Chain A
Amino acid sequence: MEHETFYTDLLCVGAGLAGERVAIEAAAAGFDAILLSLVPARRSHSCAAEGGMQAALGNCAMGEGDSPDVHFADTVKGSDWGCDQECARIFADTAPIAVREAAHWGMPWNRVVAGKAKYWKGGEEFEAEEKKEKHGLITARAFGGTAKWRTCYTADGTGHTLLYTLDNKITSLGVHVHDRVEAISLIHDGENCMGCVARDLKTGKLRVYLAKATLIATGGYGRLYSETTNTVINEGGGHIIALDTGLVPFGNPEAVQFHPTGVVPTNILVTEGCRGDGGTLLDVDEKRFMDKYEPAKAELASRDVVSRWMMYHIAQGKGVPSPYGDHLWLDIRHLGEKHITTKLREVYDLCRHFLGVNPITQLIPVRPAQHYSMGGVRTNSDGAAYGLKGLFSAGESSCWDMHGFNRLGGNSLAETIVAGRHVGIKVAEFLKGAEVTFKTELATQALAADAERIERLVRGADGNENVYAIKDAMQQVMMDKVGIFRNGDDLQAAVDTLREIYAKALKIGLKSNGIGANPELALALKMPGMVRLAICVAYGAQMRTESRGCHARDDYPARNDRDWLNRTLAYWTDLEADLPELKYEPSTQVMYLPPGDRGYGKTEIIPMDAPKED
C-alpha cells in the first residue's frame, strides 16, 4: 500500500493553542514533536477567540484583591460544581504564570494606564483610578461569572495574537507541523497507544505516524449542531478516533455550552467582551431585561444563565421578529466610537461586513448559538487519557475537567496554555520513561482497515447515501432537540432519530471519484463517527435527570447533588451497537469547595445529603 511513515516522540493531533503549548514543553525537554492539523496551524479555531483569557493578576483597579483562590471559586461555581476541583485548582494557580510566560514570548497584552479611567457597567458610566505602581502591567476586563475583572486581552484579537505567539515559538524550536493532515484512526494494541493513521488532505494519500506519546488536542465538536459559532473544522475528529478504540471514554458529552451573543443569521460570535465592557441586552421594546431576571449580575451572569433567560424572554413574546426567527438586541452604542473601534474592533468590522450594521449607531441582532464543548476525551489531572497508555489530551477536546457543566468566558483560552503547560510537563516526564517497541504489524493492520474503508466509500460498496444530507439531518436534530432547554420526550425522540441516521451513515457512498484532496471523502470518513458522538451527547442528556449548568431539563429543573454530582463516561465498546455504554464517576475526588449556591441563576438544589424519596 502506498504510504509514508513518520516516527516521533510526541505526536500532537491538533495544532491549536493546546497542541502547540504541549509541544513546546516536550520540545524544550529535548524531544521531537510533530503536530498534525486540518488547516495551517495559525488557522486553527483558537485564532478566532476574541475577548481574552482569565488569570488572577489583580493589576487593574477593578481586579484589585483578586487571587487564584477567588479565580478557583468562580470556576467551581461557574461549573455548577460539575468540575474536577483538583484540576480547577492547578488551573487557577498556574494561570498567572502562563500569561506572563506568553508575554515573555512576545504576546502584546494590553496594559494598565495609570490615572482616572472611564468604564461602563450595565449601561451606566463610572470612573476608576488606575494605580501608578501598576502602570504598564497586564490589565484585564470583565467577563461573565467573575468576582473581579480578570480577563487579560489584546484588544479583541486575543486568540489570534496568542496563537501567533505560540506558533512563532514552535517555529523557533524547530517543531514540525504537518498541516492539512487528518488523523483518521489511532494505532494501539489494547493497552498502549502508538500513533495514528492519517490522510494527507492535499494529496489524499494515507500516512502512518508512530509515536511514543500521542496527544489529542483537536478542539470542540460544535459542528454537531446546525447553529454554532465554531469554525467549520470543529467536527470532533479527535473524539471520534479516541471513542472508536472502544477503550477511551467520552466524558460529559452532554455538557454543551450555548453563547448568548451569536449574531443572527450567521451565528458569527460577538465577544462576551461586549457585555464585559458594559454592553446591554435589549428586547423588542428596546428595554433591558437581564437586570430583572438577575438583579446582581444582570448581563454578566454566566453564559448558561444568560442564554436561558434570553430564550425565556423570547418565549414571553419579547423577541424581535425577523425572517430568521425571533432574536434580541445587543447594545454597545453607549461605549462610544473610540472604544468600539479600538477595544472592540473585530466586533466593529464583523458587524459592518457581515450584517451591514454599524454598532456605533445601531443595535446588533443576537441569539444564543452553540459555542463550546465542555465534554471530551476523559483524562486524569496529568492529561493522560483513561483506557490507553501513552494517549493524552488537552484543550477543548479534553475532559480534563475544570469546566464541569459550564465554562466561564475567558477560561478556555486560559485552559489551552495553562493545561497545555501542565500536561506538557507530564508528557515530557512520560517520554523520559518511555520504552516503546512499535509493533509495525499493528500499523499495517490499521492502515489496511482505513484503506479498505476508503475503497468501499469510493466504490459505493455499502450503499449510496448522501453524506451531506446525513450531516444536515444530524445537525438539525441536535439543534431542535438537544439544545438549550431539554426534556425527556425530546431527548428520546432525538436518540431514536439519530439511531436511524446512524444506520444511513454506515451506508454512505461517494458521488465523486474521491481522488486527491477530495472533500466529500474527508467528510464521509468521519460522518459515522460524528453521528456516534451526537448519540453520546443526546443519550447522555437523556439519562441525566437533573439540571446543572448548561444542561437544563424542563422536566427536572433542580440541580440534584444527591444523585448527579458525577460525570458521565460514554464508552462505545460494541462497534455493532448503536448506543454507547454509560458509566459514571464522582465529579471530583477532592472537594475544596462543597456544593452550594452560585450566586446567580436561581435554581432549586437537591443537596448531597437529602434523603431519597420513595
Chain B
Amino acid sequence: MSRTLKFNIFRFNPEDPNSVPHTDTFTLEETPSLTLFIALNKIREEQDPSLIFDFACRMAICGSCGMIINGRPGLACKTLTSELPTEITLMPLPVFKLVGDLSVDTGTWFRETNTKIESWIHNDQDFDAQAIEERMENDLANAIFELERCIECGCCVASCGTANMRPDFVGAFALNRIARFIMDPRDQRTNSEYFEVVGNDQGVFGCMGLLACEDVCPREIPLQDQLGILRRKMAFQGLKNLFKPKVTGRERRF
C-alpha cells in the first residue's frame, strides 16, 4: 500500500559562490497522514542537512511555509502527500526575494507594502485609560475579523499575473487589508485618502481580475468581493477627484 514518493526540489544558495540553480531529487516512503512539513524535515534530518525551507506554526496559521507545490502556490504544512501524485515538485514562491532553496523573504515584502498602504488605524484621539471602551456591533467585529484572517503567506501575490510583472503592485492581500480599514469606524481616513494609497495601477487598477488570488488563498478569504467593492469605490472616488477643486497637498496629483 505504501507509496514511494519522489521529491524534486529547487536548490540554490545565493550566498554560496559555487551554487547554481538546479533540482535535487529525494525519495521517501510515505507514512499515514504525512504532510510536506514532516516530509521536508525528514529529508533535511536524514538526507541533506543543508536544505533551506521555512516553517513555524506547522498548523496553517502563521503563513511561513508558502511554496509552489506541483505548480500551484500553497501552504506546505497544510498539504498532505496523500493529496498529491508520487512525484512532487517543490519550488520557492516567485515575486519575493530568494533566501535559499524553498525559502523566500516575505517579511521584508509585507512590511514594505504594509508601510506603503499605511496599514494601521488612523485616529487622532488619545487613548483614555479611565474610560470604558467604545461600543461596536458584534456583527461588525466579526466582519472585520473575516478580512483580518489573512496570514500574509504570499500565495495570492505569487499567483498574480500583475504582481509577477510589476514589482510595485501591492497585490490582493493589500487591497483586502485596505477593505478591512474602510470597514472599521475607528479608522478616520476618508475615501479620498484611501484613494491616495490604492487608487492607482499599483493598487486596484492594476488588477486584471482573473481570480487566481482567491483560488489559492489558503484562508479562503473572499478576495474577489473585496477587489470588486474597492474597485467601484475607488473608480467613483477617481471621478469625484476629477471634478473637485484641487486643494489639499495630498490630492494635488489628480
Chain A bound to chain B: yes
Q: How far apart are the CA atoms of A10 and B243 in the complex, in Å?
A: 49
Q: How far is the CB of A179 from chain B (nearest CB, A)?
A: 4
Taken together as a complex, chains A and B put the C-alpha atoms of A429 and B108 apart, in Å, by: 31
Interchain CA distance A517-B57 in the complex, whole Å: 20
Chain B 55-80: CB-based contact to A (< 8 A → 1; otherwise 0)? 11111111110000000000000100
A106 touches B186 (CB 8 A): yes
User: Beyond A43-B63, A113-B138, A233-B56, is A520–B100 a contact (Cβ under 8 Å)?
Assistant: no
Contact of A154 among B56, B114, B120, B145 (CB under 8 A): B145
B141 within 8 A of A: yes
The verdict on B152 contacting chain A, using a C-beta distance below 8 Å, is yes
Q: From the candidates A137, A231, A512, A513, name the one contacting B135 in the complex (CB within 8 A).
A: A137
Asked if A161 and B120 sit within 8 Å, CB to CB, the answer is no
Interface contact B16-A155, CB-CB below 8 Å: no
Contact code string B175-190 (vs A, CB < 8 Å = 1, else 0): 0000000001011000
A330 at the interface (CB under 8 A from B): no
Q: Give the distance in Å from the alpha carbon of A47 to the alpha carbon of B32 in the complex.
A: 28
- Interface residues in B121-139 by Cβ distance below 8 A to A read 121, 123, 125, 127, 129, 131-138
Does the CB pair A103–B15 fall under 8 Å? no
Chain B interface secondary structure, helix, strand, loop or mixed? loop
Assembled-state Cα–Cα distance A135/B49 (Å): 56
Indicate whether A468 reaches chain B with its CB closer than 8 angstroms: yes
Partner of B16, one of A177, A266, A515: A515
Within 8 A of B (CB), among A510-548: 510-513, 515-520
Q: Is the CB of A110 within 8 A of B59?
A: no
Measured CB to CB, the closest approach of chain A to B183, in angstroms, equals 10
Contact yes or no, B99 A202, CB < 8 A: yes
B58 cross-chain contacts in A, Cβ below 8 A: 231-232, 266, 268
A155 — which chain B residues lie within 8 A by C-beta? 142, 145
Known: A516-B15, A517-B100. A110 touches B151 (CB 8 A): no
With A103-B133, A171-B120, A512-B49 known as contacts, the answer to whether A154 contacts B141 (CB < 8 A) is: yes
Within 8 A of B (CB), among A189-207: 202-204
Please state if B148 and A164 are interface contacts (CB–CB under 8 Å). yes
Interface assignment of B2: CB less than 8 Å from any CB of chain A:
no
Q: Is the CB of B56 within 8 A of A139?
A: no
B119 touches A168 (CB 8 A): yes
A173 to chain B, nearest CB (A): 9
Does A574 belong to the interface (CB within 8 Å)? no
Contact of B64 among A43, A136, A138, A177 (CB under 8 A): A43
A157 and B149 in contact (CB under 8 A), knowing A136-B137, A512-B49, A516-B16?
yes
B184 & A111 in contact (Cβ 8 Å cutoff) = no
Residue of A108, A135, A154, A517 most packed against chain B (CB within 10 A)? A108
Question: Range of interface residues on chain A?
Answer: 35 or more
Decide if B107 is an interface residue (CB 8 Å cutoff): yes
B105 nearest CB neighbor, chain A only: A202
Closest chain-B Cβ to A346's Cβ sits at a distance in Å of: 7
Stretch of A67-75, A347-355, A378-386, A411-419 lying at the B interface: A347-355
Give the CA-CA distance A147 to B69 in the complex, in Å.
48
| A520–B16 CB distance below 8 A | no
Bound-complex Cα distance A39 to B100 (A)? 15
Partner of A97, one of B78, B129, B137: B129
B173 to chain A, nearest CB (A): 12
- Using an 8 Å CB-CB cutoff, how does the interface string of A201-233 with B read, 1 for contact, 0 for none? 011100000000000000000000000000111
Q: Please state if B107 and A39 are interface contacts (CB–CB under 8 Å).
A: yes
A338 in the interface (beta carbon within 8 A): no
From A42, A45, A169, give the contact of B120 (CB < 8 A). A169
B-chain residues with CB within 8 Å of residue A6 when the two chains form the complex: none
Provide the bound-state CA to CA distance between A104 and B136, in Å.
Answer: 11
Q: Cβ of B138 and Cβ of A42 under 8 Å apart?
A: no
Q: Are B135 and A136 in contact (CB under 8 A)?
A: yes
Inside 8 A of A582's CB, which chain B residues have their CB? none
Are B49 and A47 neighbours in the complex by a CB distance under 8 Å?
Answer: no
Min CB–CB distance A71 → chain B (angstroms): 17
What residues of chain A lie closer than 8 Å to B13, measured between beta carbons?
A: 515-517
Q: How many residues of B contact A (CB 8 A)?
A: 64
B248 within 8 A of A: no
A440 at the interface (CB under 8 A from B): no
Query: Knowing A111-B135, A137-B133, A512-B50 touch, does A43 contact B119 (C-beta < 8 A)?
Result: no
Asked whether any CB of chain B lies closer than 8 Å to the CB of A607, the reply is no
**Residue B196, interface by CB 8 Å:** no
> Which of the residues A161, A203, A268, A513 comes within 8 Å of B50, measured between beta carbons?
A513
Q: A179-B107, A512-B49, A519-B51 are in contact. Are A48 and B148 (CB under 8 A)?
A: no
Interface assignment of A105: CB less than 8 Å from any CB of chain B: yes
Q: Could you tell me the distance in whole angstroms from the C-beta of B76 to the nearest C-beta in chain A?
A: 12
Q: Does A180 contact B (CB under 8 A)?
A: yes
Smallest Cβ distance from B134 to chain A, in angstroms? 7
A519 CB contacts on chain B under 8 angstroms: 44, 49-52
In the complex, are the beta carbons of B120 and A172 less than 8 A apart? yes
Restricting to A296-312, which residues have a CB under 8 Å from any CB of B? none
List the A residue with the shortest CB-CB distance to B135: A136
B133 touches A138 (CB 8 A): yes
* A contact residues around B52 at 8 Å (CB): 516-519
Residue of A nearest to B114 (CB): A171
Greatest chain B CB density within 10 A among A113, A510, A519 is at: A519
B54: CB under 8 A from chain A? yes
Contact A172 B60 (CB under 8 A): no
Q: Does A491 contact B (CB under 8 A)?
A: no
- Report if B48 contacts A (CB, 8 A): yes
Taking Cβ atoms with an 8 Å cutoff, the residues of B that contact A are 13-16, 32-33, 35, 44-45, 48-52, 54-64, 78, 99-100, 103, 105-108, 110-111, 114-115, 118-121, 123, 125, 127, 129, 131-138, 141-142, 144-145, 148-149, 151-152, 184, 186-187
Q: What are 29 contact pairs spanning A and B, CB under 8 A?
A: A39-B64, A42-B63, A42-B152, A43-B107, A44-B62, A100-B129, A100-B132, A104-B127, A104-B133, A106-B187, A111-B138, A137-B133, A138-B133, A160-B148, A169-B120, A171-B120, A202-B99, A231-B58, A231-B62, A266-B58, A350-B60, A513-B16, A515-B16, A516-B13, A517-B13, A517-B15, A517-B103, A519-B50, A520-B49
User: A-side interface residues toward B, CB under 8 Å?
Assistant: 39-45, 47-48, 97, 100-101, 103-106, 108-113, 135-139, 154-155, 157, 160-161, 164, 168-169, 171-172, 177, 179-180, 202-204, 231-233, 265-266, 268-269, 323, 342, 346, 349-350, 353-356, 467-468, 510-513, 515-520
Beyond A39-B64, A40-B152, A518-B52: 19 further Cβ-contacts under 8 Å? A45-B56, A100-B127, A104-B133, A106-B120, A108-B142, A108-B148, A109-B136, A110-B138, A113-B138, A137-B135, A155-B142, A160-B61, A171-B120, A172-B120, A353-B78, A354-B78, A468-B45, A512-B48, A519-B52
